[in-house]
Chains A and B, each alone.
Chain A
Amino acid sequence: MAVTYDKISYPLIEEALKNIINDEFQNVYISPKFEMIGNECIRINLLNSTLEESNANYERRIYEVNIRYYFNCDMHQPKVNEAVKNKIDRLKKHLLDNQTKNLSNAKWVWLDVQSIEYNVEDDENDDADALYIAEFTIELINHNQWSA
């Protein structure tokens, strides 16, 4: 039997975020795997979704998305450190400027930047001293009205 369903997680969450971030930032991509693009890039990765509320008419889920902002730079230099932090703040502001979306290709009733972890050190930069990583954890609430 054919299952009629709504495609949400990729087109309305991940791809929508990519398009929005891409308006203001360079080298944005969606992937669970890290790949360095240029000296600065942003990776979007959907972590999970949890049910907030549902009934016969709709389902409301919270999508947790991981956004990593990568910089190939020398953070020992104060001016570089400052510029990188400014760029991270700029990304946060840009996300908050898009706190609600109700479009055919982007849909959430709320977006929160839950946390920003600076200077992330893990296997992605284990072998690359010059790679600085800032990790955003954001939550988006998608309200999906069941198709009639």
Chain B
Amino acid sequence: MANSTFVYCSSDDVKKVYSRIDEHDSKIQIFNWDLVFTHSGFNLYESKNTGSVTQLFMNGQNLGGSNVTVSYTDSTTNTNEALDATEEVITMVSGSVFSRGDYIKIENEVMLVTVISTNDITVRRGWAGTTAVSHSTDTDVYIGTSFDYENDWYYDSDLDVTLLYVSSSTDPNDNIVESGYDWDTYLTNQIEASSMQLNSMLDHSRFPIPIPQSVVYDDTVNQAGTPEYDYVIIRLTALLTAYNCIVAREPLSEEAEAIMGQISNENGMGLLDRLNEGTLTLNFETDRGDSTQGKILQIVKAGSMRLVEATCPEGFYGEPYERVQILCTASGGYGDAKASIKVTGDSKLYGSTISTDFEISGGLQHIASGLYCRFEGATMNVGDRFDVEVRNRTLKTTDGRLKSVDIFRGKRWTNEM
């Protein structure tokens, strides 16, 4: 199991616990886009001091990761004049190899091409964190990148500038441009983090970490019930996720504080407080060794008759674990309804039929090996089925909440004592 992807709950669980979770998106809006150039139906915009951008969104649409990379190769043309440190129009031997938006490099200085007029190109000097300096004529010019497609974008970490290449009909200032993470991915990451956080908040002397799943109620024919986390664990994880999402944007939020109050509070009445204290117990902790009670599982019930009581007054003396099957074979009410009784045999559950026409009386009837059952209702239909899980009385009753602890004397025993 990879810890990084371990979760106790799903996105849907979080929404059920905190319906406004979608309001706590982590995206940051990027404002103030300045036009760098316009050309052939496209505009290049820049926004400064945006902070690191790994994914860009426009009006909620994910533009994906930057598909513009900077890798310099020889343009095959050279400068055709000497440059001082401020000149912004450079005469090249050939201007045809350049495109607007190209990052070019002359010696160690990077420049951004904004206009091309035959062999004269207009540039922004000292781009990408480099310093504008003078250059000699006939110096090699390298091209690093270009913007070719609509919505191409590039984050320049040296300048802390984001460049966005859009159709000339699109002004990013009139749209919502955001950096951040796709919401589903972000929420999943928060759930993973919150699951790990919950593990750290649980009392490790009491709980195995991670908390195991368990079958809370199995009403399937072949014990095919799906193990699940206790709802209290799901709810705690969802609440932690909601709390973390809110404080990520609003650290002083009162709403977040109220949610934390449900998790843990000074009165010790939070879900986590009560869980750690032991006033709430998880399903896997529940003692299953009590041989005086059977666990009723209603598999099929078309008639109105229900199995209401399954008890072993003297303890169950059958298999260590038994799942008794009571299957209706004749419809009717008390005295008429009949059932087959199956228990473990032939090396499998339900492998031995101990009765094929057990008459349902309505009283507390002995079923098998000390197990008594009682039905209530008007009629049982053929095919109605009830299972009873029960354990042998020789199995010791245990309490999953108790753990051994190390005990030390007040003084360490020594030979001198």
Partner-B contacts on A (CB < 8 A): 24, 26-27, 35-40, 71-73, 77, 79-80, 82-84, 86-87, 90, 127-130
Contacts and interface: CB of A to CB of B under 8 A. Distances in A.
Chain B interface category by residue count: 20 to 34
Contacts of B357: none
Given A82-B32, A83-B31, A38 B250 contact: no
B178 A26 contact: no
B220 interface: no
Nearest to A39: B29
B32 A79 contact: yes
A77 B51 CA distance: 13
B174 A90 contact: yes
A26 B57 CA distance: 13
A87 B31 CA distance: 10
B250 A73 contact: no
A82 B23 CA distance: 25
A38 B176 CA distance: 9
Contact of B249 (A26, A82, A130): A130
Contact of A39 (B32, B176, B252): B176
A28 to B, nearest CB: 12
9 contacts: A26-B176, A27-B176, A35-B20, A39-B28, A73-B31, A86-B173, A87-B174, A128-B250, A129-B250
Given A35-B23, A38-B25, A38-B176, A26 B31 contact: no
A26 B250 contact: no
Contacts of B48: 79
A27 B253 CA distance: 23
A37 B173 contact: no
Given A38-B176, A129-B252, 5 more contacts: A39-B25, A39-B27, A83-B32, A83-B173, A128-B253
B197 interface: no
A90 B176 CA distance: 14
A127 B27 contact: no
B254 interface: yes
Contacts of A128: 250, 253
Contacts of A83: 31-32, 173
Given A90-B174, A128-B250, A37 B23 contact: yes
B31 A80 contact: yes
Interface in B226-279: 249-250, 252-255
B106 to A, nearest CB: 31
Contacts of B31: 73, 77, 79-80, 82-84
Interface string B26-47: 0111011000000000000000
Contact of A127 (B49, B173, B254): B254
B176 A127 contact: no
Interface string B161-175: 000000000000111
A82 B48 CA distance: 14
Given A26-B176, A83-B173, A40 B252 contact: no
B59 interface: yes
Nearest to A73: B29
A129 B249 CA distance: 10
A127 B32 CA distance: 27
A86 B32 CA distance: 10
B60 interface: yes
Contacts of B255: 127
Nearest to A86: B173
A39 B253 CA distance: 17
Given A36-B23, A128-B253, A129-B252, A80 B32 contact: yes
A91 B379 CA distance: 70
A77 B30 CA distance: 12
| Smallest CB-CB A-B distances: 4 pairs | A83-B31, A79-B32, A39-B29, A83-B32
Contacts of A90: 174
A71 B31 CA distance: 11
B45 to A, nearest CB: 12
A14 to B, nearest CB: 22
B386 to A, nearest CB: 49
B162 to A, nearest CB: 13
A24 B174 contact: yes
- Most A CB contacts (10 A, CB to CB) among B20, B29, B60, B173 go to B29
Contacts of A35: 20, 23
Contacts of B176: 26-27, 38-40
Nearest to A40: B176
A26 B59 contact: yes
